[in-house]
Chains A and B, each alone.
Chain A
């Protein structure tokens, strides 16, 4: 048993597990910001007065929500970077990291949009009517009255999307980003003797990141819930 533990410890000397996890966390951070901004924008489009914007928003959601993330990530690199020659950084590796963030943002923005829309559903019609009655037009009404309440109602699905995003960063290897899942594959291929331990380390790493996020959103959704 102690032999096993020594073997296991040697794994950490040989491979930089923490650095790989750090990449996943960075991906999560930037893609969370990206998808929040983009998702809010699309949500706004979907409830806007202009029919063409609504159509665009709906099309966006249906397209990106229904495409496997792997394909999106392969596509940004294979299609946009290699064929159109668009680089997002002069640094070679940073470029792929940035493209992975873009791919992750595009995909999760569709879910953020739907989460916000479900939050909009929780806002009573009276609120919107009151906003209109005091003379607010669409954008101020959305910004000042509807969205603040909608966001509170959308905390749970938004938290779920954040958790999904955290886990989905493992697919970034498809866009040539060296992160934990590709490291895990390498580790198992070269150290099959400690396969269970490798899996548990990676799995527990995610549990450590994801469970607090889940608890936090549950707490926040209760704390911030609009009492009606």
Chain B
């Protein structure tokens, strides 16, 4: 099918671009070859689109801590901001997207676990989060999961972290919703007393303009979630990504990104574990 005429090639490229935009539903610039490496091409980065403070899409504007770290790392790898093609990667699809090479890297509250390490590679971690509780700003009665006996707790449907709390404290009433935004609405109205998931996700929710000052993160984490950069198995970029993250931390840009994205949430990260040490690559 090689067509040597330049016009034919251009037409084919145009057609391909059209199809791609049509399929992507306007998801930004369309990718070039997709292979990692050269600075002349785009890099496809998977993020969450629906988590304010971490990865959030507002038209063509992408905001959040994950986005900031991803932009910094991509920049260090030789991609300018407009060479980044953002792709939505919901939790259930992250491994698949890496295995099928539809993204080059994933920054999407992606905890490094042994199980996942078997199918994908991880660089980082770039943040160590932990399961925590979000409560109303004036509520001092809840300091940790033990205080939840007889209280109402909200999390998203099928969340294992919430189930863990319920298993350990059977007196907890658990309500499950489609998203954390609903949980925050419940919390504000007083029907639930706490929302649980990773601390930085809670902080991100609480720091949106509408929620600022209304909630606080308890700050008593009871698990350790190391957020890594998901890479396709056998990727050669792990070292470079680690270097970029280390540089970001040393330069102070990392600290800035955390602060900027959790403003107004009365939140401070776990300083014993953060900023994190990079783990060696290639295990």
- A174 CA / B92 CA spacing, docked (Å): 18
Interface residues of A in 85-100 (CB under 8 A from B): 85, 92-93, 96
CA distance A115 to B228 in the complex (A): 55
Residues on A with beta carbons closer than 8 Å to the beta carbon of B185: 78, 82-83
Is residue B189 within 8 Å, beta carbon to beta carbon, of the partner chain? yes
Residue B157 at the chain A interface, CB threshold 8 Å: yes
- Find chain B residues with CB under 8 A from A74 CB: 178, 182
Contact yes or no, B158 A82, CB < 8 A: no
Interface positions of B (Cβ within 8 A of A):
92, 152, 157-158, 173, 175-178, 182, 185-186, 189-191
From A178, which residue of chain B is reached at the shortest CB distance? B176
User: Is there an interface contact between B173 and A82, defined as CB atoms closer than 8 Å?
Assistant: no
Select from chain B the residue with minimum beta-carbon distance to A91: B173
Cα of A93 to Cα of B175 in the assembled complex, Å: 8
Docked Cα-Cα span, A19 to B66, in Å, equals 40
Q: A93-B173, A174-B178, A182-B157 are known contacts; what are 15 more A-B pairs with Cβ within 8 Å? A: A78-B185, A81-B191, A82-B185, A82-B186, A82-B191, A83-B185, A85-B191, A92-B173, A92-B175, A173-B176, A176-B175, A176-B176, A176-B177, A182-B158, A185-B157
CB pair A78–B157 under 8 Å, yes or no, is no
CA distance A82 to B178 in the complex (A): 15
Asked if A189 is an interface residue, CB under 8 A from chain B, the answer is yes
A186 / chain B contacts, CB cutoff of 8 Å: 158
A82 touches B189 (CB 8 A): yes
State in angstroms the CA–CA spacing of A89 and B178 once bound together: 22
Contact B177 A85 (CB under 8 A): no
8 Å CB interface, A176-192 against B: 176, 178, 182, 185-186, 189
Distance A224 CA – B152 CA, assembled complex (angstroms): 50
Q: Write the nearest CB–CB distance from B173 to chain A, whole angstroms.
A: 4
Closest residue of chain A to B175 (Cβ to Cβ) is A176
Bound Cα distance from A96 to B174, whole angstroms:
11
Within 8 A of B (CB), among A54-85: 74, 77-78, 81-83, 85
Which chain A residues in 157-175 approach chain B with CB under 8 Å? 173-174
- In the assembled complex, the Cα of A182 lies from the Cα of B186 at a distance in Å of 21
Distance of A111 Cα from B283 Cα, bound (Å)? 58
Minimal beta-carbon separation of B192 from chain A (angstroms) = 8
Contacts of A185 in B (CB 8 A): 157-158
Q: How far is the CA of A175 from the CA of B158 in the complex (A)?
A: 13
* Range of interface residues on A (Cβ < 8 Å): 10 to 19
A77 to B185, CA, bound (A): 11
Q: When chains A and B are docked, how far (Å) is the Cα of A174 from the Cα of B185?
A: 15
Question: How far, in angstroms, from A83 to B178 measured CA to CA in the complex?
Answer: 17
What is the minimal beta-carbon distance from B177 to any residue of chain A, in angstroms?
6
Closest beta carbon of chain B to A80's beta carbon, Å: 11
Give 19 pairs: A residue, B residue, CB < 8 Å, sorted on A: A74-B178, A74-B182, A78-B186, A82-B185, A82-B189, A85-B189, A85-B190, A85-B191, A92-B173, A96-B175, A173-B157, A176-B157, A176-B175, A176-B177, A178-B176, A182-B176, A185-B157, A186-B158, A189-B92
- Within the complex, the shortest CB–CB distance from B102 to chain A, in Å, comes to 18
Measured between beta carbons, the chain A residues less than 8 angstroms from B191 are: 81-82, 85
CB-nearest residue of chain A to B172: A92
Bound: A75/B92 CA distance, A: 26
Q: Which residues of B contact A174 (CB under 8 A)?
A: 178
Let me know if B189 and A92 touch, CB within 8 A.
no
Of A78, A85, A92, A93, the residue contacting B182 (CB under 8 A) is A78
The chain B residue sitting closest to A93, CB to CB, is B173
| CB proximity of A188 to chain B, nearest CB, Å | 9
CA of A82 to CA of B189, assembled, Å: 6
CA distance A16 to B194 in the complex (A): 28
Please give the distance in Å from A32's CB to the nearest CB on chain B.
Answer: 25
Name the A residues within 8 Å of B92 (CB-CB): 189
Q: How far apart sit A194 and B10, CA to CA, in the bound complex (Å)?
A: 46
Give every chain A residue within 8 A of B157 (Cβ-Cβ).
173, 176, 182, 185
A contact residues around B178 at 8 Å (CB): 74, 174
Query: Which of the residues B152, B177, B186, B190 comes within 8 Å of A92, measured between beta carbons?
Result: B152
Q: Which residue of A lies closest to B177 (CB)?
A: A176
**The 4 residue pairs across chains A and B that have the minimum distance between CB atoms:** A92-B173, A82-B191, A82-B189, A82-B186
Q: How near does chain A come to B74, taking the closest CB pair, in angstroms?
A: 30
Which residue, of A74, A77, A82, A189, has the highest number of chain B Cβ atoms within 10 A?
A: A82
